[in-house]
Structure 1
Amino acid sequence: MKRILLILICVLVPASCTQPVTVQKDSSQAVSGIKDYRLNNGLKVLISEDHKAPVASFQIWYNVGSINETQGKTGLSHFLEHMMFKGTQKYGSKVFSNLVQKNGGVDNAGTTRDFTVYYQNLASDRINLSVEMEADRMINLFLKSEDVESEKKVVMEERRMRIEDDPEDFLLEQVTAKAFTTHPYHNPVIGWMGDIASLSREDLMRYYKTYYAPNNAVIVVTGDVNSDEIMKLVTKHFGGIPSAPVKALSVPTEPVQKEQRRLTVKKQAKLPLIIIAYHVPSVPHTDAYALDVLSQIFSGKSGRLYQSIVKKEKLAINAFANYSGIHKDAYLFYWGGTPAADINKLETAMFKEIEGITAAPPTEREVKKAKNQIEATFVMGQDSLFFQGELLGMFELLGSWRLKDKYLDGVAKVTPADVQAVAKKYFTPQNSTVGILIPEE
């Protein structure tokens, strides 16, 4: 199963460029090493200096994702991400990426259910390119009608390839949509095909003007940089961009699920598949840490699912348990696998494993091993400047970048009793949604 990433401003808004710009600095940053600033237009800036190598990662996170979309307009966040590479008056289509590549860097972007990020990894003495160009496209995006219609076909083809022609991802999408009846998490990030086809330039421009504003963004810079110099650049290019009246996000609360939901999907596929989803909380809810440990106990070739269902009973070719607590609202814990022969026997075996963890706690050894694996992945991953920035950006948009430092503390406190408690609390029959993929000839 796949595991589920301005100089022109002063011409267009001259009045704002004449206003004084102040920078507020967080005084509680000494312990973490993170420099925390905010401009008077609301732009948050986080800087982590790391001088081991002459490289840096520049990331700008917008507090907008598919959770902000309404019915009939799904896919706007992802579509707009594509259009952000179509150019401004100063930097034409593909000029941004070409300039980054010519200077030895890489750039990309990603849209999730909760946020959108654009980033460049560059030699640290080229970071001024990122600052200037990202400021430019925050306010001066072209959004030509012909580009919108052309890119719409690209996005629709992307949906066909990634979702509709991929049986696993198609089933995952259907299970998620079945599990959420009211909350916007019902909708896929890429959007429904009919909605994508109907999106217009006006829809995109309205969305852009609503959410792409300094007071709805966070800049994260990690690497071989000088914080004072970075802030001079950020203030110069972003300081004159006016803030926007971004409304606080208000989404309907998902009703408590009171009975098991089931669906069957028939698709051209080589093998059948089962996915079981349970509603669970996200970070910073205290149960999220125990759910993370539980997921690790059952994952991988040394995990319970593989050892029991795949290796011992030989009922499955593969099996997985997948949980990510990085969501603004409560999301889903996924279980699943590909049967070796009988999918009904695999479903019975998987529910037996789930019931087993609700009936008895895991061993101290299992919990300690899981916590060590989580810590190792979390700590070693930060050898990457990009991953350092990614953690800061995600946690900041979840509430505060300081949650990053509390994450491992939360995991460390998890006990076997905690793991059993969350299993009993959330892995109930009435809280489950079961999806079955049946291959067609």
Structure 2
Amino acid sequence: GQSKLEVKQTPQAKSTYLNLAFPAPVFTESEYYPFEILAEILNSQEASPLAILTEGKDPLAISVSAYLDVKKEFSTLNLSIVADSAEKVHRILSTTSEVLKSLKQIKFNRADLDRVIIPKKTSEYLLAERPHYYWMMKAPVLALAGWEFMETEFDKLSEVKPRDLQEVAGKYFSDPVYVGTVVMPPSDKELSFTNVSQAEQIEEKEVSYLRKTLSNGLTVLIKSNPASKVFALNILGKDRASSEPEGKEGIADFTNRMLLQGTKSKSAEQIERELQSIGAELQVVDNPFIPYDDRYLSPQFTYFRFESIDEFATKSLELISDLLANSTFPAEKIEETRKEILALLKKDQNSPSKNCGQLFYQTLFRQHPYHQPLSGRIESVSSITREDLQQFYLKFYAPSNLVIAVATGLPAEEVFTILEKKFSKLSGSKSEAKDQPLPSGPKGIQTAEKKVESQQLYLYLGNLLPNLTDSQKVIAEVANAILASRLGLNLREKQGLAYSVSSAVRWDKKFGWFYSYIGTSPQNFEVARDGILNEIKKLKKEEVSTEELEKARQDLSGSILMSRLSSVNQAFYMSVNEYLGSGYQRDTEFLALLPEVTTQDVKSAWQSWFDLDNYVLATAGKR
């Protein structure tokens, strides 16, 4: 195989970041266990052969770390290397390759293995005494590898002999092949490593876009980037909260979960096997075991995030169209899914952050559909019947209510031809949309409080924003980024008040909303609340410095660029921007408008749009 290295230059990079992924054994293979120990040795601070990269008066690297990334179908050894100059990358690559090649010649001994296994085993037992943290850490491993792997892992590691490390190193690193990325500051210099993956110079082709509507009303967006091999898509279901019948709140979440539970021709198990056969990853709800994994969650829409590779584009679209058109909602799977949702709802009852966020939305939006909890209530989820799910599915997944966005390396017209053939059969019609009145903001300071037995207290503070133009929205985003930075610096770093603290702005088609939030100790409630208010007051009175403005611009542009690196995120945000009416290329336009924001714009934004006489203050925890 041929090593491949992708280079990205960005002003946000102050150092050079090199990430390399090497093939590794899957967890079902016997070679996995000696390789796991080898990976731990490479990551050790004292004994790692890779430490040569950070030694000497002018070291090649500032830091080096190694970890084993395990998936169901494959594993990789990932090396993360930080350097102070991109000019060192070529030497880092050659030195790393030589170190890995030499591993098969190292005579490891039992002590080398014990230095890995004993701390790992000790850490495991200590963690097991803290069940909450233990299962939060172990849930992904359990879901991936199963209970038997967790039960026998240390027995298998203990059986590894020193010579096993040499053998596995010889097999996997005799001729190291990697896929990697370099993220570096902009440079006009011609650097040798940029050609490391190119036996032949490939002519750069332009990214192209396509937007069409099928005859059944389905909106299709396709981004074709010939440099990519990934086939990713997002299916956005419009008007989530406003589509849910009264008393059936949470039915959109319930329906999304049921899409994977069986079709007219496939069982849930067959669907899972088919996804595995094409190396696909599919996400229809947030992962409750990963903190802050709800960044795609919204009362405005549902999502269906899918990733595979271009080689399986046709198979992918066949499977997805079957899920959307032919889901059968098996009765036994409905009850299994209901139990999962109810368990999560009961778990969230003890979460101050979840309760506070929900309370904020309830108070801010009151009679508007966005006040409803997205996963529903115990009463509403318990009342949802199979007939309810089928009726909602037919209307909500009607083609006119969907936006499908695809990011691929294939030609856009080629993908559209396949997609049109598979999805033009989708039928169903959305219910006549009710004209929802715009939400009305609070009069005065509206407070809401919910007692939760917890050592933490969460606080949300915010209000509605008016219908702004695209350029005004950019100004509001910059203003918010400055506040978020100040909250983090002053309330968390300097005063030590916060477990987590930040602020955000969100946009709908004709309005927006803003909120700051903080997780703190109950005794710090008043100081934390006043701290947020004081930072906003300062922004209303004083212009920010040009340096602070520039940092906010860079933070925003960096955040957008990083969040759009993956093809599935590109597809996701294309569909969201299309739904909001901003156009699927809104990100490009946003980045073009950023440099035009001035310090006076920021001050005016705070004075005009962020009202301190009228806002919602929600708290959850013990006070």
Give the shorter-chain TM-score range.
0.7 to 0.9
Pick aligned residue for 1:84 from 252, 259, 265: 259
- 1:355 shift after superposition: 1.0
1:101 and 1:68 mapped to 2: Cα distance? 33
Query: Is the CA contact (8 Å cut-off) linking 1:273 and 1:339 kept in structure 2?
Result: yes
Pick aligned residue for 1:144 from 330, 345, 364: 330
- 1:50 shift after superposition: 1.8
Superimposed CA distance per residue, residues 42-83 of structure 1 (whole angstroms, 9 cap, x where no aligned partner): 222211112324221132222241232243121111111011
**Are the structure 2 counterparts of residues 283 and 255 from structure 1 closer, same or farther at C-alpha, using a change threshold of 3 Å?**
closer
Is 1:103 equivalent to 2:274 in the alignment? no
Superimposed CA distance per residue, residues 16-40 of structure 1 (whole angstroms, 9 cap, x where no aligned partner): xxxxxxxxxxxxxx99721122222
**Are the structure 2 counterparts of residues 381 and 311 from structure 1 closer, same or farther at C-alpha, using a change threshold of 3 Å?**
closer
SS at match of 1:362: coil
1:390 aligns with 572
- 1:186 shift after superposition: 0.7
Pick aligned residue for 2:241 from 59, 66, 88: 66
TM-score, structure 1 length as denominator? 0.85
Pick aligned residue for 1:207 from 377, 389, 392: 392
Amino acid corresponding to residue 334 of structure 1 in structure 2: Y
1:377 aligns with 559
1:156 aligns with 342
Query: Which range is displaced more, 277-286 or 164-173?
Result: 277-286
1:274 and 1:213 mapped to 2: Cα distance? 39
Amino acid corresponding to residue 423 of structure 1 in structure 2: W
1:195 aligns with 380
1:316 aligns with 497
Amino acid corresponding to residue 439 of structure 1 in structure 2: K
Aligned-residue identity in percent: 20
2:300 aligns with 114
- 1:84 shift after superposition: 0.8
Amino acid corresponding to residue 420 of structure 1 in structure 2: K
Query: Is the CA contact (8 Å cut-off) linking 1:138 and 1:213 kept in structure 2?
Result: no
**Are the structure 2 counterparts of residues 334 and 155 from structure 1 closer, same or farther at C-alpha, using a change threshold of 3 Å?**
same
**Are the structure 2 counterparts of residues 346 and 39 from structure 1 closer, same or farther at C-alpha, using a change threshold of 3 Å?**
closer
Query: Is the CA contact (8 Å cut-off) linking 2:492 and 2:499 kept in structure 1?
Result: yes
TM-score, structure 2 length as denominator? 0.61
**Are the structure 2 counterparts of residues 245 and 389 from structure 1 closer, same or farther at C-alpha, using a change threshold of 3 Å?**
closer
1:11 aligns with none
- 1:135 shift after superposition: 1.5
Amino acid corresponding to residue 334 of structure 2 in structure 1: V
**Correspondence list, 1:221-260, <5 A:** 221-242=406-427, 244-260=429-445
Superimposed CA distance per residue, residues 383-431 of structure 1 (whole angstroms, 9 cap, x where no aligned partner): 2111211121111111131333322234333222222222222332342
Is 1:349 equivalent to 2:531 in the alignment? yes
Larger radius of gyration: 2
SS at match of 2:268: coil
Superimposed CA distance per residue, residues 82-119 of structure 1 (whole angstroms, 9 cap, x where no aligned partner): 11111111121242232112222211114531112213
Query: Is the CA contact (8 Å cut-off) linking 1:85 and 1:94 kept in structure 2?
Result: no
- 1:246 shift after superposition: 4.4
**Are the structure 2 counterparts of residues 170 and 369 from structure 1 closer, same or farther at C-alpha, using a change threshold of 3 Å?**
same
Is 1:172 equivalent to 2:353 in the alignment? no
- 1:292 shift after superposition: 1.2
**Are the structure 2 counterparts of residues 219 and 428 from structure 1 closer, same or farther at C-alpha, using a change threshold of 3 Å?**
closer
2:477 aligns with 292
Query: Which range is displaced more, 391-400 or 65-74?
Result: 65-74
Structure 2: unaligned runs, 5 residues or longer: 1-204, 286-296
- 1:264 shift after superposition: 2.3
- 1:276 shift after superposition: 1.1
2:355 and 2:364 mapped to 1: Cα distance? 14
Query: Which range is displaced more, 318-327 or 150-159?
Result: 318-327
Query: Is the CA contact (8 Å cut-off) linking 2:474 and 2:593 kept in structure 1?
Result: yes
| CA RMSD between the two structures | 2.4
1:364 aligns with 546
Query: Is the CA contact (8 Å cut-off) linking 1:124 and 1:224 kept in structure 2?
Result: yes
**Are the structure 2 counterparts of residues 410 and 151 from structure 1 closer, same or farther at C-alpha, using a change threshold of 3 Å?**
same
1:245 and 1:309 mapped to 2: Cα distance? 47
2:267 and 2:510 mapped to 1: Cα distance? 38
2:463 aligns with 278
2:473 and 2:608 mapped to 1: Cα distance? 12
- 1:317 shift after superposition: 3.0
Amino acid corresponding to residue 176 of structure 1 in structure 2: Y
| Number of equivalenced pairs | 406
Pick aligned residue for 1:305 from 456, 477, 487: 487
Amino acid corresponding to residue 330 of structure 1 in structure 2: F
**Are the structure 2 counterparts of residues 420 and 125 from structure 1 closer, same or farther at C-alpha, using a change threshold of 3 Å?**
same
**Are the structure 2 counterparts of residues 363 and 211 from structure 1 closer, same or farther at C-alpha, using a change threshold of 3 Å?**
same
**Are the structure 2 counterparts of residues 342 and 279 from structure 1 closer, same or farther at C-alpha, using a change threshold of 3 Å?**
same
2:216 and 2:276 mapped to 1: Cα distance? 31
2:374 and 2:481 mapped to 1: Cα distance? 26
SS at match of 1:155: helix
Amino acid corresponding to residue 405 of structure 1 in structure 2: T
2:514 aligns with 333
2:425 and 2:489 mapped to 1: Cα distance? 59
1:403 aligns with 586
Superimposed CA distance per residue, residues 422-441 of structure 1 (whole angstroms, 9 cap, x where no aligned partner): 2222332342111233438x
**Are the structure 2 counterparts of residues 319 and 105 from structure 1 closer, same or farther at C-alpha, using a change threshold of 3 Å?**
closer
Say which structure, 1 or 2, has more relative contact order (CA 8 Å, 6+ apart): 1
Query: Is the CA contact (8 Å cut-off) linking 2:219 and 2:403 kept in structure 1?
Result: yes
Superimposed CA distance per residue, residues 164-209 of structure 1 (whole angstroms, 9 cap, x where no aligned partner): 1211111111122111112111112111221111111222111111
SS at match of 2:452: strand
**Are the structure 2 counterparts of residues 201 and 362 from structure 1 closer, same or farther at C-alpha, using a change threshold of 3 Å?**
same
2:601 aligns with 418
1:54 aligns with 229
1:53 and 1:167 mapped to 2: Cα distance? 42
- 1:253 shift after superposition: 2.2
2:369 aligns with 184
**Correspondence list, 1:37-48, <5 A:** 37-48=212-223
1:245 and 1:398 mapped to 2: Cα distance? 18
- 1:318 shift after superposition: 4.4
**Are the structure 2 counterparts of residues 75 and 403 from structure 1 closer, same or farther at C-alpha, using a change threshold of 3 Å?**
same
2:435 and 2:207 mapped to 1: Cα distance? 32
Superimposed CA distance per residue, residues 109-133 of structure 1 (whole angstroms, 9 cap, x where no aligned partner): 1453111221321121111122112
Is 1:435 equivalent to 2:618 in the alignment? yes
